[in-house]
């Protein structure tokens, strides 16, 4: 392999997902020279919008903008791109927040090692147990309660009460494709795709990032680096750090897990959704939930059905041979929709665990994880290596806008450094 050096810049951002692009935009607006490096041949990270197979864009990765307070709604509005409210995945009763606040105040705090399922079982009052069960189940996109940290679940409930909104109660779609958010953020940013970072070296003058691209080794030097690598990539040591990461950072990486998620899409002719609800939670052993992407203003003549598997269900599904995944899931969809004659015009799926640049979907804190693990994941090293990504987000992890806010936070940390130290030599 040939080797050459890239001219020095102020900040290198590793990863062109929403977190990396958010950080790069904020830094560039502040007047810093920024370069974004992305291993894939596309931007977007775990946003993956398909524009073939259906009459509208469909999402194999992140799909919804959660909550009415989502800051990305304003970006789409400013860009003149429509978003459509599609309701929530759960409906909470009136007065739920006040009841929850009072119940949380009355209950003992969970132990760090306590699963959410065990925490619920230990609640003596049936009414309190029922309320807490409903609250835990309203937390979108978690593992099973036996694999969920009770301390982290309750911490999230307190934050939701503080902000006045529960994530599962309101969602929006972007009919033109969620990947437009990365298009907007990436506009005019210096960005290099198909560039796989292999090492990040802290030096006396800042950092050196060693990457491979097109069969060549490239060296990029900067004063700072923002690392937005997915948690699964960090856990697999796909990128080497020199000197090694501090023990506390390594511990936080290994305490936090990446959820196993498989998303399966079927496109059917006509309106084939017979259920009253738009989103169905199931007790199926390989299907966690079903929903459809028909909404006000959507193109007619077809129904896009999503079969979603998370945690145990995803692992069970991925134990099948690859050629058997779609037929098996089609059989389950037919059963849940009560129509054995359903035949799709298009079908596909994506396993984020099998994606070498993700190695899992979004992050999750299991029993035994420290409640401050995300805070430690976000902590900068030596004022040179900064961190962003949904796994580092204290507020709204597991979401696109949590990733977006984490990028803004990392940029703010860099900008708070002494200005003289940010000037490239």
Q: Could you tell me the CATH number of the domain that includes residue 231?
A: 3.50.50.60
Q: Are residues 108 and 154 in the same domain?
A: yes
Cα–Cα distance, 177 to 49 (Å, whole number)? 6
In a domain, 295, yes or no: yes
In the chain, the percentage of residues whose pLDDT exceeds 90 is 70
Q: Give me the pLDDT at residue 67, please.
A: 87
Q: Do 382 and 252 belong to one domain?
A: yes
Structure tokens at 163: 């902000």
**What pTM was computed for the model?**
0.92
Mean pLDDT, residues 314-324: 92
Report if residue 267 sits inside a domain.
Answer: yes
pLDDT in tens, 251-300: 999 999 998 889 999 999 988 999 888 888 888 889 988 998 766 666 67
Read off the pLDDT of residues 377-395 as tens digits, 9 standing for 90 and up. 999 999 999 999 999 999 8
pLDDT for res 297: 61
Per-residue exposure over 307-340, b if at least 16 CB sit within 10 Å of its own CB, e if not: bbbbbbbbebbbeeeeeebbebbbebbbebbeee
- Give residue 288's domain range: 49-87+171-178+261-351
pLDDT the model gives residue 4? 59
How many Å separate Cα 188 from the centre of its chain?
25
358: in domain: no
What pLDDT score does 425 carry? 44
DSSP 1: -
Spatial separation of the C-alpha atoms in residues 225 and 185, rounded to whole Å:
19
Task: Give yes or no: residues 268 and 238 share one domain.
Answer: no
Give residue 1's pLDDT band: very low, low, confident or very high (50, 70, 90). very low
* CA pair distance 394, 388, nearest whole angstrom: 11
């Amino acid at each position: 392999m040939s080797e050459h050096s890239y001219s020095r810049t102020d900040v290198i951002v590793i990863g062109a997902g929403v977190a990396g692009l958010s950080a790069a935009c904020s830094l560039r607006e502040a007047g810093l020279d920024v370069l974004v490096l992305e291993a894939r041949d596309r931007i977007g990270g775990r946003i993956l919008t398909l524009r073939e197979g259906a009459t509208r864009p469909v999402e194999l990765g992140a799909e919804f903008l959660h909550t009415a307070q989502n800051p990305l709604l304003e970006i789409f509005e400013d860009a003149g791109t429509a978003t459509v409210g599609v309701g929530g995945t759960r409906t909470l009763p009136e007065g739920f927040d006040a009841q929850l606040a009072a119940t949380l105040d009355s209950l003992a705090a969970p132990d760090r090692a306590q699963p959410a399922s065990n925490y619920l079982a230990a609640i003596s009052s049936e009414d309190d147990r029922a309320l807490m069960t409903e609250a835990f189940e309203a937390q979108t996109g978690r593992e099973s309660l036996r694999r969920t940290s009770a301390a982290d679940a309750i911490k999230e409930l307190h934050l939701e009460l503080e902000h006045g909104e529960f994530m599962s109660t309101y969602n929006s779609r972007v009919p033109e494709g969620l990947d437009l958010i990365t298009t907007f953020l990436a506009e005019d940013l210096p960005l290099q795709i198909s560039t796989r970072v292999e090492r990040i070296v802290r030096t006396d003058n800042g950092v050196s990032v060693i990457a491979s691209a097109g069969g060549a080794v490239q060296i990029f030097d900067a004063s700072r680096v923002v690392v937005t690598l997915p948690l699964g990539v960090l856990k697999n040591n796909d990128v080497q750090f020199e000197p090694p990461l501090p023990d506390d950072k390594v511990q936080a990486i290994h305490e936090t897990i990446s959820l196993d998620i498989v998303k399966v899409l079927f496109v059917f002719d006509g309106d084939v959704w017979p259920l009253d609800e738009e989103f169905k939670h199931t007790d199926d052993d390989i299907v966690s939930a079903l929903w459809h992407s028909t909404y006000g203003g959507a193109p007619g003549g077809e129904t896009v059905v999503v079969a979603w598997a998370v945690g145990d269900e995803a692992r069970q599904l991925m134990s099948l041979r690859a050629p058997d995944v779609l037929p098996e899931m089609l059989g389950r969809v037919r059963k849940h929709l009560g129509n054995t004659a359903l035949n799709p015009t298009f079908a596909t799926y994506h396993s984020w665990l099998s994606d070498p640049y993700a190695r899992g979907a979004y992050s999750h804190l299991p029993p035994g994880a420290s409640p401050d693990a995300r805070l430690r994941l976000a902590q900068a090293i030596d004022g040179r290596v900064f961190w962003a990504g949904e796994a580092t987000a204290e507020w709204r992890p597991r979401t696109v806008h949590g990733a977006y806010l984490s990028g803004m936070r990392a940029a703010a940390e860099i900008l708070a450094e002494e200005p003289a130290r940010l000037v490239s030599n």
